[in-house]
Amino acid sequence: MVYLTRKAEFAASHYYHNPNFTAEENQRIFGKCNNSNGHGHNYTLEVTVKGEINPQSGFVVDLKELKEVLNREVLDAMDHRFLNKEVPEFFEKVPTTENLAVVVWQRLAPKLKAAQLHRVRVYETPDLFADFYGEA
């Protein structure tokens, strides 16, 4: 089994808010992240796939295909967007780094053919990242 990681960057804005909480609860739980005008990050995404090396091509996965899927399913939808208002998953879900990792996984997993998704890592800043391994 060989693991291969592709990195990508996107910039997006978001804010943390749960409509089921009161204004005070939202403020207490989410702090500055609750400002409804939003704020932004340069996100770095790492997508790790695993598989056996194809003896003919020497590839685990065709990197070009992985890049195309990543661009189409994730970057085109999220880069330079306000996540709460423009990415349907976040109309209901709070766009935390953890949820972003889950959503990226859910967008990629059904589209990848040869390789199996191993891990999605989303860096919100260089000092904070979330990992999702597809676990229930």
Interface with other proteins includes 15 (CB under 8 A)? no
Binding pattern to other proteins, positions 61-100, x when CB under 8 A? --------------------------------xxxxxxx-
Candidates 15, 16, 77, 87: give the one binding other proteins (CB under 8 A): 16
Q: What angle do CA 82, 73, 7 make, to 5 degrees?
A: 90
Interface with other proteins includes 36 (CB under 8 A)? no
Q: CA dihedral in degrees (7, 9, 10, 15; nearest 10)?
A: 80
The yes-or-no answer on residue 33 being catalytic is: yes
Percentages of the chain per state (helix, strand, coil), in multiples of 5: 40, 30, 30
Question: Where do contacts with other proteins occur on this chain (CB under 8 A)?
Answer: 16, 18, 20-21, 29-31, 93-99, 101-102, 126-133, 135-136
